[in-house]
Structure 1
Amino acid sequence: MTAAGPAGRDRVVLSEVSQTYATPTGDTVALSPTDLVIEPGEFVSIVGPSGCGKTTLLQLLGGFLEPTTGTLRVGQDAVAGPSPDRGVVFQSPTLYPWLSVRGNVEFGPKCRGVDRRTRRAEAERLLRLVGLAEAGDKKPYELSGGMQQRAQIARVLVNDPRIVLMDEPFGALDQLTRERLQVELLRLWRDAAKTIVFVTHSVEEAVFLSTRVLVMSARPGRVIVDRRIELPGDGDAVVRDLEVIATPEFQTVKSELAQAIYAAHK
């Protein structure tokens, strides 16, 4: 399964990237020196035991942290801080409660000086894309948790980021809403042709969503498994159906990755 990704300028390259935090009791190594390449158009999920550095790695990719060692580049550009080219979807929606859903989606383009007509049209397009065409005038608190998360995804996509970073965005949702959003996210990934890096605690979610899954060891975190995911029915422009979860191929990959996480946590 692939999405039509952008040119090689969007390749993410980590070279000997590590992260150490200073604490009152001494330095804590959250991420061991890591070499990693993420190709344009990939959907990469990161799984591992709690405290293994998944979110640290995502924050490094987002430019919220400066690596203690090593270099991190997107194409030819060093990551030197947050950028509109790297949109972030957090675990909890971070919508402005005083703005309408449409106003939240328009906020980024408005700050960039995009004219009202253009940003309104793009906001409406993305609200349709995430299934919120009828909710534009509502305030965030009038929406369900799943609808708020979809609005947050639209607010990220409206800035046309080359890379979308997602930190357990469905972790607090009920199972039915989570499954529905997983399917919608795959459709959005295909239609918007973005690179997605997705942090999750769920092995099943990682296998279902991804073209590739990285398993990290317990702290200090390092990538111990880099597994490409190919499932029945995968192919160009194909979005997986939840029925694939019941296939022997899916269960085999899920078990393999779960065992790797268990071994890393021992």
Structure 2
Amino acid sequence: MTSALDLRDRVVLTDVSKTYDSAIGPTVALSPTDLTIEPGEFVSIVGPSGCGKTTLLQLLGGFLEPTTGALLVGPDRIAGPSPERGVVFQSPTLYPWLTVRGNIEFGPKCRGVDRKTRRAEADQLLQLVGLGDVGDQRPYELSGGMQQRAQIARVLANDPRIILMDEPFGALDQLTRERLQVELLRLWRQAGKTIVFVTHSVEEAVFLSTRVLVMSARPGRVIVDRRIDLPGDDPDHVRALTVTATPEFQSIKSELAQAIYEAHT
């Protein structure tokens, strides 16, 4: 049975589209789209370049207004950015003049959380993302992967209901990317948040997600909505990288890659 809290956190898009004006005329980035994302889902969005993945994420973040339709979180219309929807960008957006801990404390400080409480919460999050020993360093003293973990911790410090991630691991080396994928799954399991994740990597989408959406070439629309159920995938266990070698994983990956190829041709 769906609880009242679950209903409050459900994301619903009804007939949502986005058209941009340009010098050569209007460009439809997103065709009218109906979509429901249930609380606690990890939904990845994949598709060819220019298909509207980031446009859809920016609509969910409240950075863009839809040309048509309505976006709701529970009963509330998305009318602009909100701390209830945290955003992790492709490149870390940390304040270089603050320490890593200071970056994590920034949101709670703006909300009026007292110093002792926000310091304790920041230290807990630093431990959660594996940065417990670098809280007093500046962001530029950290590796790219560590900066991304700090950015995730800063988003979690605001306790958002939904986390939106726009290719956050795209610029990282493969080893760091794989480590952060496992770390993100662990954080998602522990925090119980809803995550919407944009990526160009089908393998990453299948590995991370409970559900993958494939979008068509522009004008973008959802052409595949695929539930992901892999062997040994239970709520109390973080998925191991070894699952990528299973026939089930490879079959789903091939199915989605084929859908993207056909959408682009």
Q: TM-score, normalised by structure 1?
A: 0.97
Residue 25 of structure 2 aligns with which residue?
26
2:172 match: 173
TM-aligned CA deviation for residue 8 of structure 1: 1.9
What's 2:62 paired with?
A: 63
Q: CA deviation at 1:90?
A: 0.1
The unaligned stretches of length 5 or more in structure 2 are: none
Q: Which residue of 2 aligns with 1:142?
A: 141
Runs of 4+ in 1 over 3 A off after TM superposition: none
Distance (whole Å) between structure 2 residues aligned to residue 222 and residue 236 of structure 1: 30
Deviation at 1:238, TM superposition (A): 2.2
- Deviation string 1:173-203 (CA, Å, 9 cap, x unpaired) is 0000000000000000000000000000000
| TM-score, normalised by the number of residues in structure 2 | 0.98
Q: In 2, distance between residues paired with 1:144 and 1:77?
A: 39
2:262 is aligned to 263
Residue pair 2:189, 2:235 contacting (<8 A) in 1 also: no
Give 2:209's aligned residue: 210
The residue aligned with 1:236 is 235
Match of residue 183 from structure 2: 184
1:116-155 correspondence to structure 2 within 5 Å: 116-155=115-154
Give 5+ residue unaligned stretches, structure 1. 1-5
**Equivalent-residue separation in structure 2 for 1:236 and 1:116 (angstroms):** 35
**2-structure distance, mates of 1:79, 1:238:** 33
CA distance in 2, matches of 1:236, 1:84: 27
Residues 1:77 and 2:76 aligned together:
yes
The Cα of 1:112 is off from its aligned counterpart by: 0.9
Q: Percent identity?
A: 83
Deviation at 1:20, TM superposition (A): 0.2
Distance in 1, Cα, partners of 2:147 & 2:37: 29
Distance 1:23 1:114 in 2: 44
- Alignment deviations for residues 111-135 of structure 1 (CA, whole Å, 9 cap, x no partner): 1111100100100010100000001
Please state how far the C-alpha of 1:239 moved relative to its aligned partner.
1.4
